[in-house]
Amino acid sequence: MGKGDGLMDRFGTALNRPVYTGETAVLASMHGKEEAFAGPLLDLLGLRLTVAEGIDTDAFGTFAGEIPRRMGMLETAIAKARLALDRSGADIAIASEGSFGPHPHIPFLAAGVELAVLVDERRGIVIQESLIDDQPVYHHAEVTDMGELEAHLVRMDFPRHRLIVRPCLPGARGGATVKAIDDGKTLAEAVKAASAASLDGKAFVQTDMRAHMNPRRMTTLKRLAARLAERAACLCPGCASPGYGAVRMEGGLPCEDCGFPTGQPLHAIFECVACDHREKRPRPGQPEKASSVFCAVCNP
């Protein structure tokens, strides 16, 4: 497959797979993310994937909180990728980082923000993509026993999605964090032990958000991998560097009733990762007008 095969990204930009065809990238992951990334990168980009050996990505932060993340998502993902490059001697690395909490646009909903990078040392570029999962299997509860926990297990989709249990308020003796729980017996034992070790008598039970323990997250990462591959296959019209794509949306879609510009997206802003080329493009398939619900004049 090459240029002119008719494949396009979600913004209508032609994909140019030959840029990376036959090359190999190293993936910075301890948690089986190759299951999500290998297929899309090979199918859409022609890029083979291997997994970096002997690296500890948990050193950059853990979901259970034993090690806090000290950098932002982008900086953390790039640091993981550069660690994989250093250890492997490869030229191209892939890494991702996730964050779960309130939805960035709808705070009363939970969401997962996923970000992935392709660091290409030979070309001197970093390509990034991100997406929001507005229905992650992400839940936690503070309970004293299994009776209280039962009501939460459906939302946690247990045992398909594995769980982590730790004391809510560890005492002087601490208390073990038990991860990857996938059966009722182990869960009951962990809840009992964590409650006993906690100063408030409660166990903190949460979904295990590591990719290989959370099928929903693995599915989301596969979507993210496809987006990253599509962006890497888009070449800059100015310098022909891979990684050309939309970096943000610009508002201004006119109100359907009065024509006043709203905050709804009107254009996508495209930029190159290697040069200063930049352009505005209409969003494919977007309506010509915005609902008056979003208008500051009609609906102040």
Tens place of pLDDT for every residue, the chain, 300 residues?
344 455 666 666 666 767 899 999 999 999 999 999 999 999 999 999 999 999 999 999 888 888 888 999 999 999 999 999 999 999 999 999 999 998 887 778 889 999 999 999 999 999 999 999 999 999 999 999 999 999 999 999 999 999 999 999 987 667 789 999 999 999 999 999 999 999 999 999 999 999 999 999 999 999 999 999 999 999 999 999 999 999 998 999 999 999 999 999 998 999 999 999 999 988 777 788 999 999 999 988
Q: How buried is 260 (Cβ within 10 angstroms: 0-12 exposed, 13-18 middle, 19+ buried)?
A: middle
* Cα–Cα dist 246/272, whole Å: 9
Domain boundaries, the chain: 1-137+210-234, 140-208, 235-300
CA separation (Å) from 4 to 18, 180, 288? Answer: 11, 46, 29
Q: Read off the pTM.
A: 0.88
Domain 1-137+210-234 has CATH 3.40.50.880: no
Q: Cis peptide before 159, with omega less than 30 degrees from 0?
A: yes
Q: Which of 33, 208, 9 is nearest to 127 (CA)?
A: 9
DSSP 255: B
Residue pair 203/194 in contact (Cβ under 8 Å)? The answer is: yes
**Side chain identity at residue 160, one-letter code:** R
Q: How buried is 107 (Cβ within 10 angstroms: 0-12 exposed, 13-18 middle, 19+ buried)?
A: exposed
Domain 140-208 has CATH 3.20.20.70: no
